Amino acid sequence: MSSPQSRVLICGNLVWAHEDAKQLFDGLADIVIMDSPDRAEFLAGLKPGGKYDGIVGVYRHNTSADRIGVFDKEIVDALAETGTIKWIAHNGAGYDQIDVFRCAEKGISVSNTPGAVDDATATTALYLVISCLRNYAWAEQSLRQGTFKTVLDSGRARDVTGRTLGILGLGGIGLRLAHLVHAFPMRVVYYSRNKSADAPEWCEYVDSLEGLCQESDVLSLHVPLRDETVHLVGEKQIRAMKKGSIIVNTARGKVVDEEAMIRALEDGHLSSVGLDVYPNEPFVNPRLLEFPQNVLLPHMGTENQDSQRGMEVRALTNLRDFLRDGQGKDLVPEMRSKL
């Protein structure tokens, strides 16, 4: 249980849930806004007598990396050295900007906001699926350029109904996408490390990644970025896909071998790709722009006020529950076995 003198640190943007934060921490903790312009000043503020002295938990948004960088070993160690900080409530489903294994070693718990992003990310993936199959983004470019579809080739477009969508990672986002595309209907197959107990009976399990690639007209990626998922979809997996197939990625850019994907676009093995994420954001490989049939978004899967507020509130609630009950919810999977 926390005393009213405890302090929590808002590290990064808090846009929609200011009043929620006041209510959640009323009588539990004072709210401190991280205002350090760089890493050096942030680290200095964590030392005894510094402006962040006495912080017991941290709300973290990825925008904090613009000033102090990611929560790597150096920052995690500095947080641990305070002796008071025991919880990082991360805003977002992906948490690759936090060294969670170092946090576990130092006794700091990390939570994320998995369910809060499901609808927004799944509908972004749905848009990419439909636009790639029907060449809608290319058609809009044509209209805006004054050519009114004369550059398009209907032979490149396919209907959504009856196509096979392969989902790599049937977590909350993948499952939501499965339900959305089933309405057309599309045939849905999936591969995860474990067969999902939540999968509906019409959602078919494939027992290997290569098998999933072979079955898919469209392959949609929904796995977190970890060491073992970097280039999980590489040359071998892409070439196992049908000629003219499509890759959609709303997960993380490094899950796909970008060079292998571009080669497959160049020789026509892939007809197009729909991307909301890139390996080195905000840099986008200019070679991807050479294919007008590609559908490219600037990592905006959760960029709407409903999802943003939901994510902020869920992260803050995780931190509040830790202060009030000694244990928050939404521990990241690595923490469940490490702590």
Catalytic positions: 252, 281, 299
Rounded to whole angstroms, how far apart are CA atoms 226 and 131? 29
DSSP 194: S
CB 250 within 8 A of CB 125: yes
CA distances to 14, 20, 117, 180 from 305, in Å: 12, 15, 12, 21
Q: What sign does the dihedral 296-302-306-309 (CA atoms) show? A: negative
Chain centroid, CA 169 distance in Å? 12
Residue for token digits 């309405």?
A: 183
In 3-state terms the chain splits into helix, strand, coil percentages (rounded to 5) of: 40, 15, 40
| φ, ψ dihedrals at 13, nearest 5° | -65, 135
CB 89 within 8 A of CB 315: yes
- Would you state the structure tokens that stand for residue 160, as one six-digit string? 């959504």
Rounded to whole angstroms, how far apart are CA atoms 38 and 28? 29
Rounded to whole angstroms, how far apart are CA atoms 261 and 238? 7
SS3 state at 111: strand
User: Nearest CA to 252 among 224, 283, 212?
Assistant: 224
Residue for token digits 């938990």?
A: 57
- Would you state the structure tokens that stand for residue 333, as one six-digit string? 């999977």
CA distances to 31, 55, 146 from 79, in Å: 17, 9, 56
